[in-house]
């Protein structure tokens, strides 16, 4: 893919990758390495760093200071808040130290982290390596995510625990006593099923 037309690259940004989608904006002091891939209509804040091997989808928002390492994949419509920290190494040592050289001579130290479509990561959240964050999940500011997050889950704290469910619009769902819920922003209906939530088709709305 060639760098598409219609980008905005701030004159003080450093964009080396040719794989940047159309209408994507990159702000000052950000750096996108040659082998990073970035989709369309993204907004890349100041002081962001996207490493070789990182993959970023379409319409993703990266607020200032975010670093997207090799091994990290962000799907479409993801929001990454300011100062969110991704990681890719569970046992980090300085790679040139005599005790660590061997481990870093292969690439198996680098774990893969995935953030699925439409999820949001609040300011300063820390994502441990190898974790998968589900579709439309919302990670609270300052949370430390140590294991997978289900689709639509709201998680908070250190280590992050589930505290509710959220809709694609971002609102926390309000439940009745029967396990049915409504999104206060979009007025869509949801119910608990299989340890997660599912939309209730509008024609099948409960009568009671």
Cα 71 from Cα 47, distance rounded (Å) = 20
Least separation in angstroms between residue 26's CB and a copy of itself is: 14
- Return the residue of 26, 55, 79, 131 that touches a copy of itself, per CB under 8 A: 79
37 vs 131, beta carbon nearer a copy of itself = 131
Does residue 81 touch a copy of itself according to CB under 8 A?
A: yes
Structure token digits, residue 68: 């997207």
Does residue 134 touch a copy of itself according to CB under 8 A?
A: no
Cβ-proximal residues to 58 (8 Å cutoff; 6+ apart), any chain: 21, 39, 40, 41, 42, 76, 77
Structure token digits, residue 200: 């209730």
Q: Which of residues 142-161 bind a copy of itself (CB under 8 A)?
A: 142, 144, 157-158
Part in contact with a copy of itself (CB under 8 A); list of ranges 1-9, 96-104, 190-198, 199-207: 96-104
Least separation in angstroms between residue 14's CB and a copy of itself is: 6
Q: Which of residues 99-128 bind a copy of itself (CB under 8 A)?
A: 99-100, 102-103, 118, 120, 122-124, 126, 128
22 vs 206, beta carbon nearer a copy of itself = 22
Structure token digits, residue 162: 């589930």
Total residues at the site for a copy of itself (CB under 8 A)? Answer: 62
Part in contact with a copy of itself (CB under 8 A); list of ranges 1-9, 42-50, 173-181, 195-203: 42-50
Binding site for a copy of itself (CB under 8 A): 12, 14, 28-29, 31, 41, 43, 46-47, 49, 59-61, 63-65, 67, 76-79, 81-83, 85-87, 91-100, 102-103, 118, 120, 122-124, 126, 128, 136, 138, 141-142, 144, 157-158, 166-172, 185-186
């Amino acid at each position: 893919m060639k760098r598409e037309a219609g980008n905005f690259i701030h004159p003080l940004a450093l964009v080396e990758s040719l794989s940047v989608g159309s209408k994507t904006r990159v702000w000052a002091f950000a750096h996108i390495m040659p082998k990073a891939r970035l989709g369309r209509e993204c907004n890349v804040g100041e002081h962001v760093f996207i490493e070789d091997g990182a993959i970023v989808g379409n319409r993703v928002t990266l607020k200032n200071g975010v670093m997207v390492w090799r091994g990290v994949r962000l799907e479409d419509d993801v929001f990454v808040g300011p100062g969110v920290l991704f990681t890719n190494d569970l046992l980090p040592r300085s790679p040139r130290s005599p005790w660590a050289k061997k481990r870093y001579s292969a690439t198996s130290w680098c774990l893969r982290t995935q953030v699925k479509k439409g999820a949001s990561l609040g300011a300063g959240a820390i994502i441990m390596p190898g974790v998968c964050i589900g579709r439309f999940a919302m990670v609270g500011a300052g949370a430390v995510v140590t294991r997978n997050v289900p689709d639509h889950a709201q998680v908070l704290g250190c280590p992050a625990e589930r505290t509710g469910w959220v809709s694609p619009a971002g609102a926390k769902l309000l439940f009745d006593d029967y396990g049915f819920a409504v999104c206060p922003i979009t007025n869509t209906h949801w119910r608990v099923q299989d340890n997660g939530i599912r939309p209730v088709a509008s024609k099948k709305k409960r009568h009671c």
